[in-house]
Structure 1
Amino acid sequence: MKRYPLLVGALLTSLLPAAGLAKDKAPFTDSFPLAQCALSSVGSNPYFPLQPGRMARFNNFRCVAEGDCDEAEELVISVLEETREVTLLLDGVETTVATRIVEEVEMVDGQLAEISRNYFAECAATQDVYYFGEEVDLYEDGQLVGHEGEWLAGVDAARPGIIMPGGAFLLGARYFQEVAPGVALDRATHVASGLAVAVPAGAMENCVEVEETTPLDKKAVSTKRYCPGTGLVFDDGLELEFVSEP
Protein backbone atom coordinates (compact mmCIF):
# COMPACT_ATOMS: atom_id res chain seq x y z
CA MET A 1 0.00 0.00 0.00
CA LYS A 2 1.35 3.41 -0.96
CA ARG A 3 2.15 5.60 2.03
CA TYR A 4 2.33 9.40 2.34
CA PRO A 5 4.21 9.82 5.64
CA LEU A 6 3.65 13.54 6.28
CA LEU A 7 -0.11 13.58 5.82
CA VAL A 8 -0.85 10.05 7.01
CA GLY A 9 1.42 10.34 10.01
CA ALA A 10 -0.14 13.59 11.13
CA LEU A 11 -3.67 12.19 10.92
CA LEU A 12 -2.91 8.85 12.56
CA THR A 13 -1.04 10.53 15.40
CA SER A 14 -4.03 12.80 16.00
CA LEU A 15 -6.33 9.78 16.24
CA LEU A 16 -4.35 8.18 19.07
CA PRO A 17 -5.38 8.71 22.72
CA ALA A 18 -3.52 11.55 24.39
CA ALA A 19 -0.47 10.36 26.32
CA GLY A 20 -1.02 9.87 30.04
CA LEU A 21 -4.81 9.71 29.83
CA ALA A 22 -6.82 6.66 30.83
CA LYS A 23 -8.67 5.00 27.97
CA ASP A 24 -12.09 6.22 29.10
CA LYS A 25 -10.76 9.78 29.48
CA ALA A 26 -8.89 10.06 26.18
CA PRO A 27 -10.36 12.63 23.78
CA PHE A 28 -11.93 11.72 20.46
CA THR A 29 -10.47 13.52 17.46
CA ASP A 30 -13.14 15.76 15.93
CA SER A 31 -11.30 17.70 13.22
CA PHE A 32 -9.50 16.30 10.21
CA PRO A 33 -7.22 17.62 7.41
CA LEU A 34 -9.79 17.51 4.62
CA ALA A 35 -8.50 20.72 3.04
CA GLN A 36 -5.25 18.88 2.26
CA CYS A 37 -7.08 16.10 0.41
CA ALA A 38 -8.14 15.51 -3.14
CA LEU A 39 -11.52 14.01 -2.25
CA SER A 40 -13.03 11.37 -4.50
CA SER A 41 -16.43 9.69 -4.60
CA VAL A 42 -14.73 6.39 -5.55
CA GLY A 43 -12.24 4.76 -3.20
CA SER A 44 -10.22 1.68 -2.40
CA ASN A 45 -9.84 1.69 1.38
CA PRO A 46 -9.57 -2.09 2.06
CA TYR A 47 -11.92 -1.88 5.06
CA PHE A 48 -14.43 0.49 3.45
CA PRO A 49 -14.53 0.11 -0.35
CA LEU A 50 -16.42 2.82 -2.24
CA GLN A 51 -17.03 0.99 -5.51
CA PRO A 52 -20.28 1.89 -7.31
CA GLY A 53 -22.43 -1.16 -7.95
CA ARG A 54 -21.24 -3.01 -4.86
CA MET A 55 -23.94 -4.60 -2.69
CA ALA A 56 -23.71 -6.46 0.63
CA ARG A 57 -26.49 -8.30 2.46
CA PHE A 58 -26.47 -8.92 6.23
CA ASN A 59 -28.79 -10.82 8.56
CA ASN A 60 -29.05 -12.18 12.09
CA PHE A 61 -30.55 -15.54 11.06
CA ARG A 62 -27.99 -17.44 13.13
CA CYS A 63 -29.03 -15.91 16.44
CA VAL A 64 -32.72 -16.12 15.50
CA ALA A 65 -32.29 -19.85 14.82
CA GLU A 66 -30.56 -20.27 18.19
CA GLY A 67 -33.29 -18.35 20.00
CA ASP A 68 -31.02 -15.48 21.07
CA CYS A 69 -32.89 -12.78 19.12
CA ASP A 70 -36.39 -11.39 19.44
CA GLU A 71 -36.50 -10.09 15.86
CA ALA A 72 -35.31 -11.21 12.45
CA GLU A 73 -33.29 -8.41 10.89
CA GLU A 74 -31.91 -7.93 7.41
CA LEU A 75 -29.68 -5.12 6.14
CA VAL A 76 -28.72 -4.42 2.53
CA ILE A 77 -25.95 -1.89 1.86
CA SER A 78 -25.58 -0.69 -1.73
CA VAL A 79 -22.94 1.65 -3.13
CA LEU A 80 -25.05 3.54 -5.65
CA GLU A 81 -24.03 4.99 -9.00
CA GLU A 82 -25.36 8.31 -7.69
CA THR A 83 -23.33 11.09 -6.09
CA ARG A 84 -24.35 14.14 -4.09
CA GLU A 85 -22.55 17.46 -3.92
CA VAL A 86 -22.00 18.77 -0.40
CA THR A 87 -20.86 22.37 0.12
CA LEU A 88 -19.01 23.34 3.30
CA LEU A 89 -16.14 25.42 4.59
CA LEU A 90 -12.71 23.75 4.62
CA ASP A 91 -10.06 25.91 6.27
CA GLY A 92 -12.37 28.88 5.74
CA VAL A 93 -12.81 28.26 2.01
CA GLU A 94 -16.22 27.32 0.61
CA THR A 95 -15.71 23.95 -1.03
CA THR A 96 -18.05 21.63 -2.89
CA VAL A 97 -17.32 17.90 -2.55
CA ALA A 98 -18.83 15.20 -4.77
CA THR A 99 -19.74 12.41 -2.35
CA ARG A 100 -20.76 8.82 -3.07
CA ILE A 101 -24.24 7.78 -1.94
CA VAL A 102 -24.34 4.52 0.02
CA GLU A 103 -27.87 3.31 0.66
CA GLU A 104 -28.82 1.13 3.63
CA VAL A 105 -32.18 -0.64 3.75
CA GLU A 106 -33.11 -2.32 7.04
CA MET A 107 -35.93 -4.83 7.43
CA VAL A 108 -37.27 -6.13 10.77
CA ASP A 109 -39.48 -9.24 10.76
CA GLY A 110 -40.04 -8.72 7.05
CA GLN A 111 -41.19 -5.12 7.47
CA LEU A 112 -39.34 -2.07 6.22
CA ALA A 113 -37.80 -0.26 9.22
CA GLU A 114 -35.33 2.26 7.78
CA ILE A 115 -33.81 3.58 4.57
CA SER A 116 -30.78 5.82 4.83
CA ARG A 117 -28.70 7.47 2.13
CA ASN A 118 -25.21 8.15 3.40
CA TYR A 119 -22.60 10.45 1.83
CA PHE A 120 -18.92 9.47 1.73
CA ALA A 121 -15.73 10.56 0.01
CA GLU A 122 -12.17 9.23 0.18
CA CYS A 123 -8.96 11.21 0.48
CA ALA A 124 -6.95 10.08 -2.55
CA ALA A 125 -3.55 10.39 -0.83
CA THR A 126 -4.38 8.53 2.38
CA GLN A 127 -7.45 6.34 1.69
CA ASP A 128 -9.15 7.95 4.71
CA VAL A 129 -12.93 7.72 4.14
CA TYR A 130 -14.92 10.71 5.38
CA TYR A 131 -18.60 10.88 6.27
CA PHE A 132 -20.52 13.97 5.09
CA GLY A 133 -24.06 13.24 6.23
CA GLU A 134 -27.15 11.15 5.68
CA GLU A 135 -30.83 11.28 4.82
CA VAL A 136 -32.94 9.01 7.04
CA ASP A 137 -36.45 7.63 6.51
CA LEU A 138 -37.90 5.66 9.44
CA TYR A 139 -40.91 3.37 8.99
CA GLU A 140 -43.50 1.67 11.19
CA ASP A 141 -46.18 -0.63 9.79
CA GLY A 142 -45.26 0.45 6.29
CA GLN A 143 -45.69 4.16 7.06
CA LEU A 144 -43.00 6.84 7.06
CA VAL A 145 -42.81 8.15 10.64
CA GLY A 146 -39.70 10.31 10.89
CA HIS A 147 -36.21 11.33 9.89
CA GLU A 148 -34.35 11.16 13.21
CA GLY A 149 -30.57 11.35 12.85
CA GLU A 150 -30.45 13.24 9.55
CA TRP A 151 -27.54 15.63 9.14
CA LEU A 152 -25.41 17.25 6.45
CA ALA A 153 -21.93 18.71 6.67
CA GLY A 154 -22.03 22.47 6.16
CA VAL A 155 -25.54 22.79 7.63
CA ASP A 156 -26.29 23.84 11.25
CA ALA A 157 -22.61 23.68 12.27
CA ALA A 158 -22.25 20.03 11.17
CA ARG A 159 -18.83 18.89 9.99
CA PRO A 160 -17.53 15.69 8.38
CA GLY A 161 -16.29 12.85 10.52
CA ILE A 162 -14.11 9.94 9.51
CA ILE A 163 -15.72 6.54 8.98
CA MET A 164 -12.51 4.56 8.38
CA PRO A 165 -8.89 5.77 8.38
CA GLY A 166 -6.52 4.58 5.69
CA GLY A 167 -3.03 3.23 6.32
CA ALA A 168 -2.31 1.32 9.51
CA PHE A 169 -5.18 0.33 11.82
CA LEU A 170 -3.94 1.75 15.13
CA LEU A 171 -5.31 0.16 18.29
CA GLY A 172 -6.65 2.77 20.67
CA ALA A 173 -7.39 5.33 17.94
CA ARG A 174 -10.52 7.34 18.83
CA TYR A 175 -12.39 9.70 16.52
CA PHE A 176 -15.78 11.15 15.67
CA GLN A 177 -17.58 9.59 12.72
CA GLU A 178 -20.27 12.29 12.70
CA VAL A 179 -19.96 15.85 13.99
CA ALA A 180 -23.52 17.19 14.01
CA PRO A 181 -24.11 18.79 17.45
CA GLY A 182 -27.26 17.55 19.16
CA VAL A 183 -28.19 15.34 16.21
CA ALA A 184 -25.50 12.81 15.30
CA LEU A 185 -22.25 12.35 17.23
CA ASP A 186 -21.21 8.75 16.65
CA ARG A 187 -17.63 7.99 17.73
CA ALA A 188 -15.29 5.08 17.00
CA THR A 189 -12.60 3.36 19.04
CA HIS A 190 -10.24 0.79 17.51
CA VAL A 191 -10.37 -2.14 19.94
CA ALA A 192 -8.91 -5.21 18.17
CA SER A 193 -6.97 -6.31 15.08
CA GLY A 194 -5.63 -9.51 13.57
CA LEU A 195 -8.98 -11.26 14.10
CA ALA A 196 -10.18 -14.41 12.37
CA VAL A 197 -13.88 -14.00 11.54
CA ALA A 198 -16.35 -16.59 10.25
CA VAL A 199 -19.67 -15.34 8.84
CA PRO A 200 -22.10 -16.92 6.36
CA ALA A 201 -20.19 -15.24 3.51
CA GLY A 202 -17.02 -17.11 4.50
CA ALA A 203 -14.00 -17.26 6.80
CA MET A 204 -11.68 -14.24 6.80
CA GLU A 205 -8.36 -13.25 8.36
CA ASN A 206 -6.66 -10.07 9.59
CA CYS A 207 -9.97 -8.45 10.50
CA VAL A 208 -10.42 -5.50 12.85
CA GLU A 209 -13.01 -4.48 15.44
CA VAL A 210 -14.43 -1.02 16.07
CA GLU A 211 -16.57 0.00 19.04
CA GLU A 212 -19.03 2.80 18.40
CA THR A 213 -20.52 5.08 21.07
CA THR A 214 -22.24 8.45 21.22
CA PRO A 215 -22.40 11.14 23.91
CA LEU A 216 -26.08 11.56 23.01
CA ASP A 217 -26.85 8.16 24.56
CA LYS A 218 -24.19 6.92 26.96
CA LYS A 219 -25.76 3.45 27.12
CA ALA A 220 -25.57 2.92 23.36
CA VAL A 221 -22.61 0.75 22.33
CA SER A 222 -22.22 -0.90 18.94
CA THR A 223 -19.63 -3.39 17.69
CA LYS A 224 -18.53 -3.63 14.06
CA ARG A 225 -15.93 -5.86 12.42
CA TYR A 226 -14.24 -5.19 9.10
CA CYS A 227 -12.07 -7.47 6.98
CA PRO A 228 -9.55 -6.37 4.32
CA GLY A 229 -10.89 -6.57 0.79
CA THR A 230 -14.44 -7.16 2.02
CA GLY A 231 -15.22 -4.30 4.37
CA LEU A 232 -17.97 -4.58 6.96
CA VAL A 233 -18.73 -8.20 7.90
CA PHE A 234 -20.37 -7.87 11.35
CA ASP A 235 -22.66 -5.15 12.64
CA ASP A 236 -24.03 -5.73 16.15
CA GLY A 237 -25.18 -9.29 15.50
CA LEU A 238 -25.86 -8.84 11.79
CA GLU A 239 -23.45 -11.00 9.77
CA LEU A 240 -22.44 -10.69 6.14
CA GLU A 241 -24.38 -13.23 4.11
CA PHE A 242 -23.51 -12.20 0.57
CA VAL A 243 -21.52 -9.55 -1.27
CA SER A 244 -21.79 -8.68 -4.95
CA GLU A 245 -18.86 -6.83 -6.51
CA PRO A 246 -19.31 -4.48 -9.50
Structure 2
Amino acid sequence: MTWSTSRRLTVLPLMGFGLLGALLVGCTGSAGPTPKQSFAKTAFIASNFVDPRLGANEWLPLIPGMQWVREGTTLIGNREVPHKVVTTVTDVIREIQGVKTVLVHDQSTGAGQVVQQSLDYLAQDKDSNIWVLGVATEQYEAGRFIAVDEAWLSGVDGARGGILMPTNPTTGTPPWQIARPPGANGDAAEFLRTQPQECVPFACFDNVLVIREGKAGALDNEFKYFALGVGQIRNEPRSASRHEDIEFLINVTMLSPEGLGEASAEALRIDAQAAAEYPVLFGDVQASRLP
Protein backbone atom coordinates (compact mmCIF):
# COMPACT_ATOMS: atom_id res chain seq x y z
CA MET A 1 0.00 0.00 0.00
CA THR A 2 1.30 3.44 -0.82
CA TRP A 3 0.90 7.16 -0.33
CA SER A 4 1.23 9.45 -3.33
CA THR A 5 4.82 10.68 -3.42
CA SER A 6 3.50 14.24 -3.64
CA ARG A 7 1.72 14.05 -0.28
CA ARG A 8 3.36 14.73 3.06
CA LEU A 9 2.02 13.85 6.48
CA THR A 10 2.64 15.94 9.57
CA VAL A 11 4.30 13.74 12.17
CA LEU A 12 5.41 13.98 15.76
CA PRO A 13 8.31 11.96 17.21
CA LEU A 14 7.18 8.65 18.72
CA MET A 15 9.55 9.08 21.63
CA GLY A 16 7.23 11.72 23.02
CA PHE A 17 4.45 9.17 23.32
CA GLY A 18 6.44 6.76 25.48
CA LEU A 19 6.01 3.77 23.17
CA LEU A 20 9.71 3.02 22.91
CA GLY A 21 10.14 2.41 26.60
CA ALA A 22 9.58 -1.29 26.10
CA LEU A 23 12.21 -1.80 23.41
CA LEU A 24 14.72 -3.51 25.64
CA VAL A 25 12.16 -5.68 27.38
CA GLY A 26 11.23 -9.01 25.83
CA CYS A 27 10.84 -12.73 26.19
CA THR A 28 13.57 -15.31 25.90
CA GLY A 29 13.43 -18.24 23.54
CA SER A 30 15.27 -20.67 21.33
CA ALA A 31 15.08 -22.07 17.83
CA GLY A 32 11.55 -22.67 16.63
CA PRO A 33 9.94 -25.93 15.57
CA THR A 34 10.32 -27.36 12.11
CA PRO A 35 7.48 -26.59 9.69
CA LYS A 36 4.30 -28.59 10.36
CA GLN A 37 1.26 -29.33 8.23
CA SER A 38 -1.28 -28.83 11.04
CA PHE A 39 -2.19 -25.45 12.48
CA ALA A 40 -3.50 -24.16 15.76
CA LYS A 41 -7.29 -23.99 15.78
CA THR A 42 -8.74 -20.84 17.34
CA ALA A 43 -12.50 -20.51 17.15
CA PHE A 44 -13.87 -17.36 15.58
CA ILE A 45 -16.53 -16.07 18.01
CA ALA A 46 -17.65 -12.49 17.42
CA SER A 47 -18.40 -11.88 21.11
CA ASN A 48 -14.73 -12.63 21.94
CA PHE A 49 -13.50 -9.50 20.14
CA VAL A 50 -12.80 -6.05 21.58
CA ASP A 51 -11.95 -2.59 20.24
CA PRO A 52 -9.06 -3.26 17.82
CA ARG A 53 -7.39 0.13 18.46
CA LEU A 54 -6.15 -0.59 21.99
CA GLY A 55 -2.58 -1.57 21.08
CA ALA A 56 -2.68 -4.48 23.53
CA ASN A 57 -0.59 -6.87 21.40
CA GLU A 58 2.95 -5.69 22.14
CA TRP A 59 4.45 -7.39 19.07
CA LEU A 60 1.97 -5.61 16.79
CA PRO A 61 0.56 -2.55 18.59
CA LEU A 62 -2.48 -1.18 16.76
CA ILE A 63 -2.64 2.43 17.93
CA PRO A 64 -4.30 4.91 15.53
CA GLY A 65 -1.65 7.25 14.16
CA MET A 66 1.25 4.85 14.62
CA GLN A 67 3.28 4.70 11.42
CA TRP A 68 6.23 2.51 10.40
CA VAL A 69 8.57 3.23 7.48
CA ARG A 70 10.68 0.41 6.07
CA GLU A 71 13.14 0.63 3.19
CA GLY A 72 15.08 -1.91 1.19
CA THR A 73 14.97 -3.40 -2.29
CA THR A 74 12.57 -5.28 -4.53
CA LEU A 75 12.71 -6.78 -8.01
CA ILE A 76 11.00 -5.30 -11.05
CA GLY A 77 11.54 -7.95 -13.66
CA ASN A 78 15.13 -9.00 -13.02
CA ARG A 79 16.19 -5.53 -11.91
CA GLU A 80 16.77 -4.76 -8.23
CA VAL A 81 15.34 -1.35 -7.34
CA PRO A 82 14.88 0.69 -4.16
CA HIS A 83 11.73 -0.24 -2.26
CA LYS A 84 9.81 1.58 0.49
CA VAL A 85 6.78 0.61 2.57
CA VAL A 86 4.84 3.00 4.82
CA THR A 87 2.35 1.31 7.16
CA THR A 88 -0.17 3.40 9.10
CA VAL A 89 -2.81 2.44 11.67
CA THR A 90 -5.83 4.63 10.90
CA ASP A 91 -8.86 5.32 13.07
CA VAL A 92 -11.26 3.96 10.44
CA ILE A 93 -13.46 1.04 11.47
CA ARG A 94 -15.33 -1.50 9.30
CA GLU A 95 -17.50 -4.23 10.77
CA ILE A 96 -16.87 -7.71 9.35
CA GLN A 97 -18.83 -10.76 10.57
CA GLY A 98 -20.10 -8.72 13.51
CA VAL A 99 -16.56 -7.72 14.55
CA LYS A 100 -15.06 -4.22 14.44
CA THR A 101 -11.84 -4.12 12.42
CA VAL A 102 -9.40 -1.22 12.16
CA LEU A 103 -8.08 -0.31 8.71
CA VAL A 104 -4.28 -0.47 8.46
CA HIS A 105 -3.00 1.28 5.35
CA ASP A 106 0.11 0.16 3.46
CA GLN A 107 1.91 2.14 0.79
CA SER A 108 4.54 0.51 -1.43
CA THR A 109 6.88 2.37 -3.75
CA GLY A 110 9.47 0.95 -6.10
CA ALA A 111 12.06 3.05 -7.89
CA GLY A 112 10.35 6.13 -6.45
CA GLN A 113 6.88 5.38 -7.85
CA VAL A 114 3.75 4.09 -6.17
CA VAL A 115 3.27 0.43 -7.07
CA GLN A 116 0.61 -0.67 -4.59
CA GLN A 117 -1.76 0.57 -1.90
CA SER A 118 -3.65 -1.80 0.31
CA LEU A 119 -5.77 -2.09 3.42
CA ASP A 120 -5.61 -4.84 6.03
CA TYR A 121 -8.78 -5.15 8.12
CA LEU A 122 -7.40 -6.15 11.53
CA ALA A 123 -9.28 -7.20 14.66
CA GLN A 124 -8.23 -7.94 18.24
CA ASP A 125 -9.72 -10.60 20.50
CA LYS A 126 -9.93 -10.61 24.30
CA ASP A 127 -6.61 -12.47 24.54
CA SER A 128 -4.94 -9.72 22.44
CA ASN A 129 -4.41 -11.94 19.40
CA ILE A 130 -4.45 -9.85 16.21
CA TRP A 131 -6.65 -11.25 13.42
CA VAL A 132 -6.83 -10.32 9.75
CA LEU A 133 -10.43 -10.43 8.50
CA GLY A 134 -10.00 -8.88 5.06
CA VAL A 135 -7.80 -7.20 2.48
CA ALA A 136 -8.26 -4.67 -0.32
CA THR A 137 -5.37 -3.97 -2.70
CA GLU A 138 -4.92 -1.34 -5.40
CA GLN A 139 -2.31 -1.78 -8.12
CA TYR A 140 -0.49 1.08 -9.83
CA GLU A 141 1.53 1.31 -13.04
CA ALA A 142 4.04 4.12 -13.56
CA GLY A 143 2.55 5.69 -10.42
CA ARG A 144 -1.01 5.70 -11.79
CA PHE A 145 -3.96 3.74 -10.41
CA ILE A 146 -4.90 0.68 -12.49
CA ALA A 147 -7.42 -1.35 -10.53
CA VAL A 148 -8.41 -2.97 -7.26
CA ASP A 149 -6.96 -6.38 -8.08
CA GLU A 150 -7.59 -8.14 -4.77
CA ALA A 151 -10.37 -7.84 -2.24
CA TRP A 152 -11.81 -10.35 0.20
CA LEU A 153 -13.64 -10.28 3.51
CA SER A 154 -13.92 -13.11 6.00
CA GLY A 155 -17.21 -14.98 5.77
CA VAL A 156 -17.87 -14.13 2.11
CA ASP A 157 -17.39 -16.66 -0.72
CA GLY A 158 -15.67 -19.11 1.62
CA ALA A 159 -12.99 -16.69 2.82
CA ARG A 160 -11.85 -17.19 6.38
CA GLY A 161 -9.90 -14.82 8.58
CA GLY A 162 -7.11 -15.95 10.84
CA ILE A 163 -4.53 -14.85 13.38
CA LEU A 164 -1.87 -12.49 12.07
CA MET A 165 0.04 -12.19 15.35
CA PRO A 166 -0.59 -14.25 18.50
CA THR A 167 -0.30 -12.52 21.86
CA ASN A 168 3.08 -13.98 22.77
CA PRO A 169 4.36 -16.72 20.41
CA THR A 170 7.03 -19.01 21.86
CA THR A 171 8.61 -22.39 21.14
CA GLY A 172 5.44 -24.08 22.39
CA THR A 173 3.12 -22.19 20.05
CA PRO A 174 1.85 -24.39 17.18
CA PRO A 175 1.98 -22.92 13.66
CA TRP A 176 -1.07 -20.77 12.94
CA GLN A 177 -3.19 -20.05 9.87
CA ILE A 178 -3.07 -16.34 9.02
CA ALA A 179 -6.01 -16.23 6.62
CA ARG A 180 -7.61 -18.11 3.75
CA PRO A 181 -8.95 -16.00 0.86
CA PRO A 182 -11.55 -17.57 -1.46
CA GLY A 183 -10.21 -20.45 -3.51
CA ALA A 184 -6.78 -20.44 -1.86
CA ASN A 185 -4.94 -22.41 0.82
CA GLY A 186 -3.93 -19.12 2.38
CA ASP A 187 -0.90 -18.10 4.39
CA ALA A 188 0.43 -19.46 7.65
CA ALA A 189 3.20 -18.69 10.12
CA GLU A 190 5.19 -20.18 12.96
CA PHE A 191 7.52 -19.10 15.74
CA LEU A 192 11.13 -19.50 14.66
CA ARG A 193 13.23 -18.04 17.47
CA THR A 194 13.82 -15.15 19.84
CA GLN A 195 17.27 -13.72 19.22
CA PRO A 196 19.27 -11.57 21.65
CA GLN A 197 19.56 -8.52 19.40
CA GLU A 198 18.77 -7.23 15.91
CA CYS A 199 20.02 -3.91 14.53
CA VAL A 200 18.28 -1.98 11.75
CA PRO A 201 18.87 1.61 10.56
CA PHE A 202 16.35 2.97 13.10
CA ALA A 203 17.85 1.34 16.22
CA CYS A 204 19.12 -1.85 17.81
CA PHE A 205 16.54 -3.96 19.65
CA ASP A 206 16.91 -6.69 22.25
CA ASN A 207 14.97 -9.99 22.43
CA VAL A 208 13.64 -9.83 18.90
CA LEU A 209 10.88 -12.21 17.81
CA VAL A 210 11.47 -13.97 14.47
CA ILE A 211 8.46 -15.41 12.64
CA ARG A 212 8.56 -17.62 9.55
CA GLU A 213 5.71 -17.07 7.09
CA GLY A 214 4.65 -18.76 3.88
CA LYS A 215 1.89 -20.63 2.17
CA ALA A 216 0.04 -23.17 4.28
CA GLY A 217 2.09 -26.37 4.14
CA ALA A 218 5.24 -24.60 2.86
CA LEU A 219 6.43 -22.19 5.53
CA ASP A 220 9.61 -20.96 3.88
CA ASN A 221 8.61 -17.72 2.19
CA GLU A 222 10.13 -15.10 4.47
CA PHE A 223 11.35 -14.28 7.96
CA LYS A 224 9.81 -11.30 9.77
CA TYR A 225 11.45 -9.67 12.78
CA PHE A 226 9.43 -7.93 15.53
CA ALA A 227 10.53 -5.74 18.44
CA LEU A 228 8.46 -5.58 21.62
CA GLY A 229 6.37 -2.42 21.77
CA VAL A 230 7.35 -1.45 18.23
CA GLY A 231 6.23 -4.03 15.65
CA GLN A 232 7.91 -5.28 12.49
CA ILE A 233 11.48 -4.07 12.04
CA ARG A 234 12.79 -6.31 9.26
CA ASN A 235 11.65 -8.56 6.41
CA GLU A 236 13.97 -11.17 4.92
CA PRO A 237 12.93 -13.33 1.94
CA ARG A 238 14.14 -16.88 1.83
CA SER A 239 16.37 -17.85 -1.10
CA ALA A 240 14.04 -20.69 -2.11
CA SER A 241 10.93 -18.49 -2.23
CA ARG A 242 9.53 -16.15 -4.87
CA HIS A 243 9.20 -13.33 -2.37
CA GLU A 244 11.29 -10.38 -3.54
CA ASP A 245 11.10 -7.66 -0.87
CA ILE A 246 13.89 -6.87 1.59
CA GLU A 247 12.90 -4.30 4.22
CA PHE A 248 14.50 -2.63 7.26
CA LEU A 249 12.80 -0.23 9.67
CA ILE A 250 14.10 3.32 9.21
CA ASN A 251 11.51 5.23 11.25
CA VAL A 252 8.51 4.83 13.52
CA THR A 253 6.41 7.85 14.45
CA MET A 254 3.07 8.88 15.90
CA LEU A 255 1.16 11.07 13.46
CA SER A 256 -0.28 14.38 14.52
CA PRO A 257 -4.11 14.66 14.46
CA GLU A 258 -3.81 16.31 11.04
CA GLY A 259 -1.59 13.52 9.73
CA LEU A 260 -3.93 10.86 11.10
CA GLY A 261 -6.83 12.63 9.40
CA GLU A 262 -5.03 12.46 6.04
CA ALA A 263 -4.17 8.79 6.51
CA SER A 264 -7.73 7.92 7.49
CA ALA A 265 -9.15 9.84 4.53
CA GLU A 266 -6.95 7.81 2.19
CA ALA A 267 -8.05 4.57 3.86
CA LEU A 268 -11.70 5.58 3.44
CA ARG A 269 -11.06 6.33 -0.23
CA ILE A 270 -9.48 2.93 -0.88
CA ASP A 271 -12.25 1.17 1.06
CA ALA A 272 -14.92 3.03 -0.94
CA GLN A 273 -13.17 2.23 -4.22
CA ALA A 274 -13.04 -1.46 -3.33
CA ALA A 275 -16.70 -1.42 -2.25
CA ALA A 276 -17.68 0.21 -5.56
CA GLU A 277 -15.84 -2.45 -7.56
CA TYR A 278 -17.01 -5.34 -5.36
CA PRO A 279 -20.51 -4.30 -4.18
CA VAL A 280 -21.69 -7.84 -3.39
CA LEU A 281 -18.60 -8.49 -1.29
CA PHE A 282 -18.81 -5.31 0.79
CA GLY A 283 -22.61 -5.09 0.98
CA ASP A 284 -24.34 -2.20 2.74
CA VAL A 285 -21.92 -1.88 5.67
CA GLN A 286 -20.09 1.45 5.67
CA ALA A 287 -16.58 2.09 6.99
CA SER A 288 -16.28 5.18 9.16
CA ARG A 289 -14.03 7.06 11.55
CA LEU A 290 -15.07 6.47 15.15
CA PRO A 291 -14.12 8.51 18.26
TM-score normalised over the length of structure 1: 0.77
Which residue is 1:76 aligned to? 86
Amino acid of the structure 1 residue aligned with 2:121: Y
Which residue is 1:116 aligned to? 118
Work out the CA distance in 2 between the residues paired with 1:116 and 1:27: 29
- For structure 1, the 5+ residue unaligned runs are 1-16, 89-95
Does the Cα contact within 8 Å between 2:49 and 2:123 map onto a contact in 1?
no
Which residue is 2:197 aligned to? 196
Q: Deviations over 1:79-137 (max 9, x none)?
A: 01211111x2xxxxxxx11111100000000011110011111113x111111111100
1:233 Cα deviation (Å)? 0.4
Which residue is 2:8 aligned to? none
Q: Secondary structure at the match of 2:87?
A: strand
Does the Cα contact within 8 Å between 1:53 and 1:245 map onto a contact in 2?
yes
Which residue is 2:39 aligned to? 28
1:31 Cα deviation (Å)? 4.3
CA spacing shift, 1:191–1:149, aligned 2, 3 Å:
farther
Q: Write the mapping of 1:193-232 to structure 2, written as runs, cut at 5 A.
A: 193-215=194-216, 221-232=221-232
Does the Cα contact within 8 Å between 1:171 and 1:191 map onto a contact in 2?
no
Q: Write the mapping of 1:34-183 to structure 2, written as runs, cut at 5 A.
A: 34-35=45-46, 37-43=48-54, 44-60=56-72, 70-86=80-96, 88=97, 96-124=98-126, 126-170=127-171, 173-183=174-184
Work out the CA distance in 2 between the residues paired with 1:72 and 1:219: 26
Among 242, 248, 269, the alignment partner of 1:239 is 248
CA spacing shift, 1:242–1:25, aligned 2, 3 Å:
closer
> What RMSD over aligned residues (CA atoms) do the two structures have, in Å?
2.7
Q: Deviations over 1:182-209 (max 9, x none)?
A: 2471111111113411011100011111
Q: Secondary structure at the match of 1:51?
A: coil
Work out the CA distance in 1 between the residues paired with 2:120 and 2:132: 8
Amino acid of the structure 2 residue aligned with 1:239: F
Work out the CA distance in 2 between the residues paired with 1:223 and 1:140: 28
Q: Deviations over 1:38-59 (max 9, x none)?
A: 3222132110001001111110
Does the Cα contact within 8 Å between 1:151 and 1:183 map onto a contact in 2?
no
Amino acid of the structure 2 residue aligned with 1:79: V
Q: Deviations over 1:206-231 (max 9, x none)?
A: 11111111149x69712211010111
| Greater RCO (Cα-Cα under 8 Å, separation 6 or more) | 2
Q: Deviations over 1:63-86 (max 9, x none)?
A: 99xxxx811000000001211111
Work out the CA distance in 1 between the residues paired with 2:133 and 2:83: 26
Q: Which has the higher mean CA deviation after the structures are superposed, 179-188 or 203-212?
A: 179-188
Work out the CA distance in 2 between the residues paired with 1:242 and 1:157: 38
Work out the CA distance in 1 between the residues paired with 2:179 and 2:84: 24
Amino acid of the structure 1 residue aligned with 2:99: V
Runs of at least 4 residues off by over 6 Å: none
Q: Secondary structure at the match of 1:41?
A: coil
Does the Cα contact within 8 Å between 2:169 and 2:191 map onto a contact in 1?
no
Which residue is 2:14 aligned to? none
Does the Cα contact within 8 Å between 1:137 and 1:144 map onto a contact in 2?
yes
Q: Secondary structure at the match of 1:162?
A: strand
Work out the CA distance in 1 between the residues paired with 2:175 and 2:36: 11
